[in-house]
Amino acid sequence: MTASPLPVVELVAAVRRADSALGLLQATQDLAAAPHPDGAACLVEVLGFNNPGAAVAAVDGLVAIGEPAVETILSNIDGHNYGARAWAVRALAGIGDVRGLEVLEDALGQDIGPSVRRAAARGLGQLRLSALAGPQRQAVVSRCLAALLAGCGDGEWVVRYAVVVGLEALAQQLSPDAAGIALAPVREALEWLCRDPAEEAPVVQLRAALALQRLEAVDG
Amino acid sequence: MAAGASDAPVMAGDPISEEEALRRLRLTGDPSAQYYAAWWLGRNRSTHPDAVPLLQEALRKRRPRDPGAGVEENAVARNAARALGKLAPAAEAAIPDLLATLEDEDHGLREAAARALGDLRARAAVAPLVARLAPGPAVAGALQPGTPRLQEPCEALLEALGQIGVAEPAVLAVVTPFVEHERPLIRSAACRALLQLTAAPDWGQRLVALLQHPQLQVRHAALMDLGAAGWRPALEPIAATLAENSLKLIALRGLAEQPSASHSEAATVAVLDAMDALL
């Protein structure tokens, strides 16, 4: 009997019933392990509970649900809780659906929470471009690139670090025909981040050097 | 530790120029203007030649504590001390003023001075820091009646000794008993200092054990302390800690930037990969 999985409604009810941090974590993990679109709304709620362990599990669950969770995430972005927004943006980044593009652009460019901006920067590098037709792909790449290049000047080291990660991931995704157009500004930006004498965080320079090295290896 | 404890004044959003910050710091009749100006100069790493002398001046304006007086000279002095720490090493000229401040009767001022002396790697501070801690955990680390504070700002004193890095037997002898202090935050600070001073893995293991502490605040402290010591074996325990990714990223940054030449490039890449996964 214990072997048969509980229906999603039961798992959702268990999350709502949880009355301790540990109980919430376990219930969220159970719900996330049964990735079902009907669980998405509840997982999105957990992002706002200020329980990092449960939020990690909820993000994993949302990413596992994938595209069917995107609308739920987008329509529940919490304008008042940047912790929750950061987790929602992480989920969007993990799913990589282009419907998240505008939210990611706005988040990197304007959000007051560095944790939101850093999650957005990473997400802008990992939107799944392969499903898109050529012209649309080109337009999405241009927008991601523009947002990431603007993010190079962010005041927080962790956001600049995430911009490096985003630029590397975006460059790795480019098909060889598009690569010629987009790679030059990516490389320039990484070289700038690597050498900017005003950079106060050596780790940003370390990461930019690693990104350049990896792009070199791919590019030959 | 000092994790996330923001010293940003309420009107931190007020955008001002360096010239304006210096002008406000000269307004000796307006402590709240000075308070913000002192913070601003540190936050923005001012390199203006007037910054350090003006901050020293603000430090000298401290006076016996007058509780309930609102923004007072000591609040300005506290921000001035913190700013001098942020301007290290350019603020070396202020070391004598900070040493004098370390003897102040105001607990908060001693704490700010200790941190700034640590930031300045002031070897001249080792003896006075040791002297403050020498009475031991049961005296220097005893609760001040009627307050949540200890007799001495032990955490700041311990961390400064670790940061300055003079690993003499007399320093180790004074720091070591604090690893048994009743407060986990003090234990964490003592382990951090000893890890920095001796590189002995025992102290790192104790910090890793604190990453499992039921209180989030203690896990935060242990994360910051492992990051400050840059202890590479903590990589996986840090990544697995139940805490906000922002703090784990700060801790891992400390590991990645650890200057020791003994680390292979692959080990650094492993730290960076762990950071990427937390974004």
Q: Is the C-alpha dihedral spanning A174, A177, A182, A183 positive or negative?
A: positive
Rounded Cα gap, residues B95 and B60, in angstroms: 12
Q: What are the pLDDT digits (tens) for B215-229?
A: 999 999 999 999 999
Beta-carbon contacts of B78 under 8 Å, excluding residues fewer than 6 positions away, are B108, B109, B112
The ipTM value here is: 0.89
Burial class (CB in 10 A: 0-12, 13-18, 19+), A146: middle
For B3, B141, B169, the CA distances from B197, given in Å and listed in that order, are 21, 21, 10
> Residue B67: is its pLDDT beyond 70?
no
B61 touches chain A (CB under 8 A): no
pLDDT of amino acid A210? 96
pLDDT of amino acid A161? 98
CB atoms within 10 A of CB A99: 14
Local structure of B90: helix, strand or coil: coil
> Residue B147: is its pLDDT beyond 70?
yes
Rounded Cα gap, residues A75 and B82, in angstroms: 43
Choose the closest CB to B269 out of A114, A165, A210.
A210
B279 touches chain A (CB under 8 A): yes
Local structure of A218: helix, strand or coil: helix
| CB within 8 Å: A118 and B279 | yes
Kindly report the backbone phi and psi dihedral angles of residue A190, in degrees, each rounded to the nearest multiple of 5, phi listed first.
-65, -40
Contacts of A206 in chain B (CB under 8 A): 256-257, 268, 272
B92 touches chain A (CB under 8 A): no
The letter for the amino acid at B4 is G
- Least confident span in A178-182, B100-104, B158-162: A178-182
pLDDT of amino acid A29? 95
> Residue B45: is its pLDDT beyond 70?
yes
How far A202 CA lies from chain B's nearest CA (Å)? Answer: 7
Do A76 and A42 touch, CB atoms closer than 8 A?
Answer: no
Contacts of A122 in chain B (CB under 8 A): 276, 279
For A31, A160, B49, B101, the CA distances from A193, given in Å and listed in that order, are 41, 8, 28, 39
Contacts of A52 in chain B (CB under 8 A): 242-245
Rounded Cα gap, residues B272 and A7, in angstroms: 39
pLDDT of amino acid B261? 55
For A159, B93, B162, B180, the CA distances from B177, given in Å and listed in that order, are 40, 33, 15, 6
| CB within 8 Å: A210 and B242 | no
| CB within 8 Å: A203 and B275 | yes
> Residue A1: is its pLDDT beyond 50?
no
Contacts of A114 in chain B (CB under 8 A): 246
Kindly report the backbone phi and psi dihedral angles of residue B143, in degrees, each rounded to the nearest multiple of 5, phi listed first.
-70, 135
Contacts of A169 in chain B (CB under 8 A): none
Rounded Cα gap, residues B241 and A45, in angstroms: 22
A29 touches chain B (CB under 8 A): no
A204 touches chain B (CB under 8 A): no
pLDDT of amino acid B6? 43
Choose the closest CB to A115 out of B242, B246, B272.
B246
| CB within 8 Å: B279 and A53 | no
Rounded Cα gap, residues A19 and A141, in angstroms: 44
B245 touches chain A (CB under 8 A): yes
Angle between helices A157-173 and A176-195 (to 10 degrees): 160
> Residue B131: is its pLDDT beyond 60?
yes
Contacts of A165 in chain B (CB under 8 A): 276, 279
User: Least CA distance to A160: which residue of chain B?
Assistant: B279
A130, two tokens: 């392969």
Rounded Cα gap, residues B170 and A36, in angstroms: 62
What's B195's DSSP letter?
Answer: H
Contacts of B230 in chain A (CB under 8 A): none
Contacts of A118 in chain B (CB under 8 A): 279
Kindly report the backbone phi and psi dihedral angles of residue B134, in degrees, each rounded to the nearest multiple of 5, phi listed first.
-55, -35
Q: How high does pLDDT run on average in chain A?
A: 91
B240 touches chain A (CB under 8 A): no
Rounded Cα gap, residues B232 and B238, in angstroms: 10
For residue A2, what pLDDT band results from cuts at 50, 70 and 90? very low
Mean pLDDT of B161-177: 97
A118 touches chain B (CB under 8 A): yes
Domain A1-76 has CATH 1.25.10: yes
B188, two tokens: 């964490």
Do A101 and A143 touch, CB atoms closer than 8 A?
Answer: yes
How far B35 CA lies from chain A's nearest CA (Å)? Answer: 23
Task: Give the rounded distance of the alpha carbon of B56 from its chain centre.
Answer: 19
